[in-house]
Amino acid sequence: MQRCLILLPIAVLLGAVACDSGRHSPAGFRLPANGDVERGKAAFVALECHRCHEVSGVELPPPTVQPPVPVVLGGLVVNEMTDGYLTASIINPSYQLASYPKELITAGGKSRMPEYADRMTVRQLTDLVAFLQSRYTVRRGSPKYPYY
């Protein structure tokens, strides 16, 4: 019994260190908290994101890219969108492709979306993520079925 009491904290500590550690871990990623939704909407248009994407519940110029991109941003989601996921999707869109038919969102095995790492400021990124976050609504599961 005493041996178990000693091993339990060690096992918990090792488990915590093993999860989300390393250079590419999302642990500790934080955008500045002062992202502005209206500036983000303006950045969305200025960076011409609207040429490919619609945003749920927002009036924007209509998409013009051909063939059309089926990725509509915002709306009802099952899991909360993290700032890290949205940031990675903007600056490295081929890293984790959205779950759409690959032939509609890729060209040459990579995302059709250009990388924005060299095309935007950190302020634009922070505001753009704040804008996108404002458009997502998490569908909470019922207590009886918490995973739906």
- pTM to 2 decimal places: 0.77
- Work out the mean pLDDT of the chain and round it to a whole number: 82
* 12 within a domain of the structure (yes/no): no
* 110 within a domain of the structure (yes/no): yes
Number of structural domains the chain divides into? 1
Looking up residue 92, the CATH number of its domain turns out to be 1.10.760.10
Q: Which domain holds residue 43?
A: 33-138
Give the number of other CB atoms < 10 A from CB of residue 86: 20
Q: How far apart are CA 95 and CA 93, in angstroms?
A: 5
* 20 within a domain of the structure (yes/no): no
Looking at residue 58, its pLDDT comes to 96
* 7 within a domain of the structure (yes/no): no
Of the candidates 126, 65, 61, 58, the residue with the CA atom closest to the CA atom of residue 91: 126
For the segment 29-45, what is each residue's pLDDT rounded down to a tens digit?
Answer: 888 899 999 999 999 99
* 43 within a domain of the structure (yes/no): yes
